[in-house]
Amino acid sequence: MFEIQNLKYEEVLDIPQLSIGEGITVIVGASGSGKTTLLRLLNKSISPTAGSIQYKGTELSQLSSVKLRREVLMLSQQPAIFKGDLRHNLEIGFKFQQRPLPTEAEMLDMLERVHLNKALDTPVDRLSGGEKQRLAIGRVFLLKPEVYLLDEPSSALDDATEESVISLVVEQARKGGQSIVMVTHSKAVAAQFADEIIEFDAGRAQVRGATS
């Protein structure tokens, strides 16, 4: 899926070679080791200082950023929440991509799946941090990209909700034949859900293994 060769980004990353295949890839490592930087590079949010990244055999530099981000969608650790209500936040990605809006039933179903049982006209300023995180996850999953880049998607959730939401994310991706590249601080999440684990240490990446 992604092939990386001689990749460097400023003084943050130095990866001679790395392959990221389909399925569930979990990236672990200390804070500041370059995990989030890699996700941003895969999404073309930033460009490499040197080296190359290919997506499905094509250099990212040759791909339209708009087209790439329809297929490879990133959810940051502090995702954007837009003023207004839940409906507006769930529809806005479709408006950006000039796609037909989801139905009310689809939106309510997704809210239920991420354990956010609120009315669509609920103002977002009434939501807690964890509820906003779940709203952002629901928005991403409604868009159904081919690849999800998730940066600490459960950072604002308690342990019980973390497991249920990550389980949902993985289940939905597997069911839809989609892939996930996920940064997490949680070794439990990595051990439970990863097909492959990549460990970062001071800007270098090493494939550590896969779950059984």
- CATH number of the domain to which 32 belongs: 3.40.50.300
AA letter at 155: S
Q: Which residues contact 203 (CB under 8 A, 6 or more apart)?
A: 11, 12, 13, 14, 15, 33, 34
* Bridge partners for 8 per DSSP: 14, 50
Q: Give CA–CA dist 3/20, Å, rounded.
A: 7
Model pLDDT, residue 209: 63
Model pLDDT, residue 210: 61
Q: Give CA–CA dist 91/103, Å, rounded.
A: 9
**Domain residue limits at 57:** 2-209
3-state secondary structure of 127: coil
Which residue in the block uniquely carries the two structure tokens 């309510």?
Answer: 108
Which residue in the block uniquely carries the two structure tokens 């769930």?
Answer: 90
How are beta strands 196-201 and 179-183 bridged, if at all? unpaired
Widest Cα–Cα separation across the chain: 49
Task: Please give the full DSSP string across 46-73, using - where no structure is assigned.
Answer: S--SEEEEEETTEEGGGS-HHHHHHHEE
Structurally, the chain folds into a number of domains equal to 1
CB 35 within 8 A of CB 200: yes
Query: 129-143 vs 86-96: helix axis angle to the nearest 10?
Result: 40
Q: Give CA–CA dist 139/30, Å, rounded.
A: 28
pTM for this predicted structure? 0.88
Tens place of pLDDT per residue across the chain (212 aa): 999 999 999 999 999 999 999 999 999 988 888 999 999 999 999 999 999 999 999 999 999 998 899 899 999 888 889 999 999 999 999 999 889 999 999 999 999 988 899 999 999 999 998 899 889 989 998 999 999 999 988 776 777 777 777 888 898 899 889 999 999 888 888 889 999 999 998 878 888 766 44
